Amino acid sequence: MPKISIIVPIYNEEKYLRRCIDSLLNQICNFDLEILLINDGSIDSSGNIAKDYALRNNKVEYYEQENKGLSAARNLGIRHATGNYIAFVDSDDYIEPNLYQNLLPYMEKNYDIVKFKIRCVDEEENIVKKYNNIYFEDKTGPEAFEALLSIHEVLEMSVGYVYRRDFFIDKHFEFKEGLYHEDFGLIPLVLTQATRVASVNVGYYNYVQTSQSITRGGISKVRLCNDLLLHYDNMIDYLPSLTLSRKIKREIKMFYSNCIIFSLNNLEENERKRYIKEIKRRKILYNIKIQSIKEIKLKLILHCNLERYLKLERHILL
């Protein structure tokens, strides 16, 4: 029977932490479960809350480190995980009671990665958005990447998957420490390296919108955009080492490039100009894929006037 290790990085989440941990302990499951609570240098009562759960429940383990960021906390959890599968849950989020039980058939078949459904909720647990998904079984990693790329939503969110631990460890995957957008930097590459992937109609992971999240708040927009560029640079360095078709490598570059270009919308005008220079210096614009005459026109505009391109692309998407 598979065992799943759930890794929960914690930083100053005393308000939501109990709800998160309780949702994990309340899982309806016929398999072993371990919950690794990683206190990333919290200065509120989060550490004490987590310690108390570990003392009262043998499924819960507590670890702490000085504040190093979300990536370092997840990496620490990966090193201590003993399950056949690992999953990531942010400490302000929570999951539905039967989520992992419904994934059991796929874990028993040794899938490398299984994707499930995510929905966005507010702090009062009202549903804000259900993300689009596409369902399939028995795809290779490159095939799964292409399929998920086609819907353009939550492909890179690490919390939306379970991963076979040996696959994750054997491929030496780690979240890049010192950078934000850690999922963006890693998960697309993880997907393409899998042998067997499923995306299933099972849910839900509840992704909570708050202003104080460990992954989503209080960070300079300029810093976030700069970190996207650094992840792009790391991807460019790493991609030649992967045994992938030229087509898949082009699509990986396209995915990263589109995300970087659309991040321009988050910047003020003076910051945007500097960021555009960095985009052009890396020749990121050449990675945009052309599929129609309309897109040929868009690409011409893209090279001449990036800001006008963004406005036209948003209009087309709407």
**Predicted pLDDT at 31:** 85
Same domain, 9 and 148: yes
Could you tell me how many residues make up the chain? 318
| Six-digit token string for 95 | 């999951």
Instruction: Say which CATH number the domain at 67 has.
Output: 3.90.550.10
Query: Which of 186, 208, 230 is at the close of a domain?
Result: 208
Same domain, 48 and 78: yes
CA 122 to chain centre: 19
**Predicted pLDDT at 264:** 87
State the average pLDDT over residues 135-140.
97
Residue 51, CA distances (Å) to 17, 18, 43, 212, 236 in order: 12, 12, 14, 22, 41
**Does position 298 have pLDDT exceeding 50, yes or no?**
no
Domain total for the chain?
2
Give yes or no for a contact between 30 and 111, defined as CB atoms under 8 angstroms apart. no
Same domain, 157 and 288: no
Nearest alpha-carbon partner for 259 in 227, 290, 234:
227
Same domain, 58 and 202: yes
Give me the torsion for CA of 110, 145, 23, 9, rounded to 10°: 100
HEC assignment per residue over the chain? CCEEEEEEEECCCCCCHHHHHHHHHCCCCCCEEEEEEEEECCCCCHHHHHHHHHHHCCCEEEEEECCCCHHHHHHHHHHHCCCCEEEECCCCCEECCCHHHHHHHHHHCCCCEEECCEEEECCCCCEEEECCCCCEEEECHHHHHHHHHCCCCCCCCHHHEEEEHHHHHHCCCCCCCCCCCHHHHHHHHHHHCCCCEEECCCCCEEEECCCCCCCCCCCCHHHHHHHHHHHHHHHHHHHHHCCCCHHHHHHHHHHHHHHHHHHHHHCCHHHHHHHHHHHHHCCHHHHCCCCCHHHHHHHHHHHHCHHHHHHHHHHHHC
Asked whether residue 192 is assigned to any structural domain, the reply reads yes
Q: Quick: pLDDT tens for 228-275.
A: 999 999 999 999 999 999 999 999 999 999 999 988 888 988 899 999
Same domain, 51 and 193: yes
Cα–Cα distance between 161 and 144 in angstroms, integer? 13
Residue 254, CA distances (Å) to 60, 123, 135, 195 in order: 41, 34, 23, 22
**Predicted pLDDT at 289:** 65
Same domain, 133 and 105: yes
Same domain, 241 and 188: no
- Predicted TM-score (pTM) above 0.85: yes
Query: Which of 208, 243, 259 is at the close of a domain?
Result: 208
Same domain, 286 and 204: no
**Does position 315 have pLDDT exceeding 50, yes or no?**
no
**Does position 309 have pLDDT exceeding 80, yes or no?**
no
Amino acid type, 90: D
Asked whether residue 216 is assigned to any structural domain, the reply reads no
Query: Which of 208, 241, 264 is at the close of a domain?
Result: 208
Domain that holds residue 293: 221-317
Same domain, 234 and 275: yes
Cα–Cα distance between 32 and 40 in angstroms, integer? 25
Cα–Cα distance between 210 and 217 in angstroms, integer? 8
Which has the higher per-residue pLDDT, 126 or 213?
Answer: 126
Asked whether residue 283 is assigned to any structural domain, the reply reads yes
Same domain, 265 and 241: yes
Q: What is the mean pLDDT of the chain?
A: 89
Give yes or no for a contact between 33 and 59, defined as CB atoms under 8 angstroms apart. yes
Q: Quick: pLDDT tens for 91-124.
A: 999 999 999 999 999 999 999 999 999 999 999 9
- What angle, rounded to 10 degrees, do the helices at 182-192 and 246-262 form? 160
Q: Quick: pLDDT tens for 76-92.
A: 999 999 999 999 999 99
**Predicted pLDDT at 64:** 97
Cα–Cα distance between 179 and 230 in angstroms, integer? 8
In the structure, what pLDDT confidence band is assigned to residue 132 with cuts at 50, 70 and 90?
confident
Residue 134, CA distances (Å) to 7, 46, 184, 318 in order: 26, 36, 19, 20
